[in-house]
Structure 1
Amino acid sequence: MKAIGLFAGVGGIELGFEQNGFDIIWANEIDEKASVTYKLNHDHQLVTEDINNIDSKTIPDIDVLLAGFPCQAFSVAGYRKGFEDERGNLFFQVARVLRDKRPSIVFLENVKNLVGHDGGNTFRVILETLNQYGYFVKHKVLNASEYGNVPQNRERIYIVGFLDEHAYKNFKFPDPIPLTKTLNDVIDFDSKVDDKYYYTKEKYKFYDQLQEAIVRKDTLYQWRRVYVRENKSNLCPTLTANMGTGGHNVPLLLSKYGIRKLTPRECFLLQGFPEDFILPNDMAQSHLYKQAGNSVVVPVVSRIAKNIYEAVSDIEKEKYIIA
């Protein structure tokens, strides 16, 4: 099945689908830095452009549309007049492509808070729009630590729609799986990394408080403006796009060589990216942290993609048996 990705970032969703036999043929991403990382790891066409400026006629015909679109408020009154009144909102760019290309399957990923955003209006309009275009939709909030065997507390909502009602009925979200990976599997607590990752008394005025509170070598901590929070669950807290700024909530750890923050590579590993995923050598660290924080947990997407593939494959088998 041929698929395209919108708001592709560095291609985490696309990677999860590629791992399950889908053929990604085209993608779109507005951020030039993320596009550099994307192109290092994918060999299909990536268009670096604002989706508002892309004519649907230039997008290939497809079976599957993938999108991790940003969550934005929009006017319900405007929506009732037709989504052209809301053309600045990025979900309606997804809707436009669905309307024009008519893929048989749509996969959307977003923050958990999408469900309650704007009193539930945002999510309701999204579901109504998908229904109006003929999609039968299932959605579920999944945590990376429970569904991806990744030691990160990261809840996201996944929305899957099918034009074929039988495929929709065949599809189910994956079941929880045991968490066997630990922080030690993805974070190197014993090796020396570049000095720029370490916190010191000279660089941080609250270093004494860090030194007093950060005492264990098997968990992560966060500086929360005025105190240090220990993550007792032995999971990484939800990675964010602003981890490179050095502000509060940045995950911290005690290594053999001192207190430090995660490296960009460790952040990508905590998102379930493979160890051979290529990160640009000449890119500012802040961009790499942003790319990791904005991305998806690849193993969760991969498990959903596998179930989508099997739901559609079963339909094809049924047609063959009937024939």
Structure 2
Amino acid sequence: MKIISLFSGAGGMDLGFIEAGFDVVWANDFDLDACTTYKTNIQDHITHGDITKISSKKIIYDIFEGDFSKFVKAEILKQNNNITLEDLSDNDIEYEKAKIDVIIGGFPCQGFSVANTKRSIEDKRNFLYKEMLRIINDFKPKYFVAENVKGILSLHKGKVFELIQEDFKEIGYKNLKAKLLNSADYGVPQQRERVIIIGNKINKPITFPKQSHIHHDKYEGKGKKHITAKDVLEELYHIDTVERNTDKRIKLKTKDIHNHIAYTNVESKFWGRKHKVDQAEICDYLKEWRNKKGISTKKVDEHFGYAHTAGHWFRKDNKSGSIPKPSDWCELKKLLGFCDKYDKQVTEFVEKEIKFEQSLRIANWDRPSDTITASTPEIHPNKHRRLSVRECARIQTFPDDFIFKGSLSSQHRQVGNAVPPVLATQIAKEIKKNL
């Protein structure tokens, strides 16, 4: 049973479907480190790149390793023996020959998240699901599975989700269901709520996995209790982490443990700007002075020894610009000769209390962990460090021999963005029954 995987990340969902007996024939992600991780642990059939710039005909070309005879209409090949991919239109290609059974993907969810108070129907990231829609429409798999945060259900009072459902129904997936699943109920040691959308066009009932684990407070002796953080982390509790950004590993009994690296910042305070700063106003101000001086952003970069950094100080789209750190501000002032107007706002810092709950939470120990996110993880119960990448990966149910690549922050991002493989396996088994 063949799968195309979109927005694959490090491969959590893919790993679950492979465990259930599926064969991933093509995958894609925009994150280079995630692709490297995927290739290291799964297969090298993942394509790194922007899905909006990858055509369906390129995907089928990759699947058949460039053998046009396997997917191009015979009459087209007779007309041109030296045909190239660019010569072909979608009408020249027989996508059904790829025999894709399922297309899976967790399309980017930042725009949908309930944690993002500025989420909007206009957020471009909200519409990357349409790329998934496009590829599903071309390959026409029997099933599709999409994963997203629960905020997708409430965005614009549910109107966005209604539009998404209508889009899938219009391309033939009228048999469609969505369900909010908590990973802890399915054997994952983590309270992680995600919406799973399943559609098929083979007129089979859509079923979700049955809950297998029960909250401790509701447990009445039947089934299994939720798996706790302690259950999966206790044996690493007293084992020192290794230096970050290395491939060093530790020996645990008879196996090697990779990625046991962690942040050591557990303070509840940070240094922040003393005065309110209007980022757009300062970007415009710096841009005005750079123009007066007649210096290009490239020259500014060369002066500071940066690569594509200074340009953010003068962004035309100043909403996405950035403000120089104090030392860069002082040097920039010498270079451009601007006045003292914004010196206090940019250079004066004070110690502030951290207000973001995520930065302060201590990892749960006697119950499932809180949601593993793509940012800085929770503080370890020993309070000396944050959870390591490996500890987060265990909470996400990645096997210990699954090796994450990239910097420490990149590895945490890959782990936090993933679908727990154990949950993905159970979803895959339900689909496999109907196939």
Give yes or no for TM over 0.5: yes
Q: Please name the residue that 2:395 is paired with.
A: 270
Matched, 1:143 2:169: no
Q: Please name the residue that 2:368 is paired with.
A: 235
Distance 1:128 1:40, change over 3 A: same
Q: 1:245-264 alignment to 2 at 5 Å?
A: 250-255=377-382, 259-264=384-389
Distance 1:65 1:263, change over 3 A: same
Q: Please name the residue that 2:142 is paired with.
A: 104
Superposition TM-score, scaled by structure 2 size: 0.58
What residue identity is the alignment partner of 2:211? P
Q: Please name the residue that 2:104 is paired with.
A: 66
Q: Please name the residue that 1:26 is paired with.
A: 26
The 3-state SS of whatever aligns with 1:70 is coil
CA contact (8 A) 1:117 1:123 kept: yes
User: Unpaired runs of 5+ in structure 2?
Assistant: 61-97, 112-119, 214-224, 245-261, 271-353
Q: Please name the residue that 2:38 is paired with.
A: 38
Q: 1:126-275 alignment to 2 at 5 Å?
A: 126-135=164-173, 136-147=175-186, 149-165=187-203, 167=204, 169=205, 171-178=206-213, 179=225, 181-187=227-233, 188-194=236-242, 197=262, 199=264, 204=267, 206=269, 225=356, 229=361, 231=364, 234-243=367-376, 250-255=377-382, 259-275=384-400
Distance 1:32 1:224, change over 3 A: same
Q: Distance in 2 between matches of 1:232 and 1:275?
A: 20
Q: Distance in 2 between matches of 1:3 and 1:279?
A: 23
- Per the TM alignment, residue 54 of structure 1 is displaced from its structure 2 partner at its CA by 0.6
Matched, 1:121 2:156: no
Q: Please name the residue that 1:91 is paired with.
A: 129
What residue identity is the alignment partner of 1:8? S
What residue identity is the alignment partner of 1:277? F
Distance 1:189 1:30, change over 3 A: same
Q: Distance in 1 between matches of 2:207 and 2:431?
A: 8
Aligned residues: 272
What residue identity is the alignment partner of 1:304? I
CA contact (8 A) 2:361 2:378 kept: no
Distance 1:162 1:260, change over 3 A: same
Q: Distance in 1 between matches of 2:365 and 2:404?
A: 30
Distance 1:304 1:253, change over 3 A: same
- Per the TM alignment, residue 32 of structure 1 is displaced from its structure 2 partner at its CA by 0.7
Distance 1:28 1:224, change over 3 A: same
- Per the TM alignment, residue 52 of structure 1 is displaced from its structure 2 partner at its CA by 0.6
CA contact (8 A) 1:236 1:251 kept: no
Q: Distance in 2 between matches of 1:308 and 1:198?
A: 39
Q: Distance in 1 between matches of 2:178 and 2:161?
A: 11
Deviations 1:133-172 (A, max 9, x none): 111112111111112x12211000001111011x2x1x31
What residue identity is the alignment partner of 2:379? L
- Per the TM alignment, residue 45 of structure 1 is displaced from its structure 2 partner at its CA by 1.2
Instruction: Select 1:288's aligned residue among 392, 411, 421.
Output: 411
What residue identity is the alignment partner of 1:275? D
Q: Distance in 1 between matches of 2:148 and 2:126?
A: 18
Percent identity between matched residues is 35
- Per the TM alignment, residue 24 of structure 1 is displaced from its structure 2 partner at its CA by 0.5
Q: Distance in 2 between matches of 1:308 and 1:302?
A: 10
Q: Please name the residue that 1:317 is paired with.
A: none
Distance 1:58 1:175, change over 3 A: same
Distance 1:229 1:305, change over 3 A: same
Deviations 1:178-204 (A, max 9, x none): 24532223222222224774647xx83
- Per the TM alignment, residue 235 of structure 1 is displaced from its structure 2 partner at its CA by 2.2
What residue identity is the alignment partner of 1:3? I
The 3-state SS of whatever aligns with 2:384 is strand
User: Unpaired runs of 5+ in structure 1?
Assistant: 76-85, 208-222, 244-249, 313-323
- Per the TM alignment, residue 43 of structure 1 is displaced from its structure 2 partner at its CA by 1.7
CA contact (8 A) 2:268 2:360 kept: no
Distance 1:303 1:224, change over 3 A: farther
CA contact (8 A) 2:230 2:365 kept: no
The 3-state SS of whatever aligns with 2:385 is strand
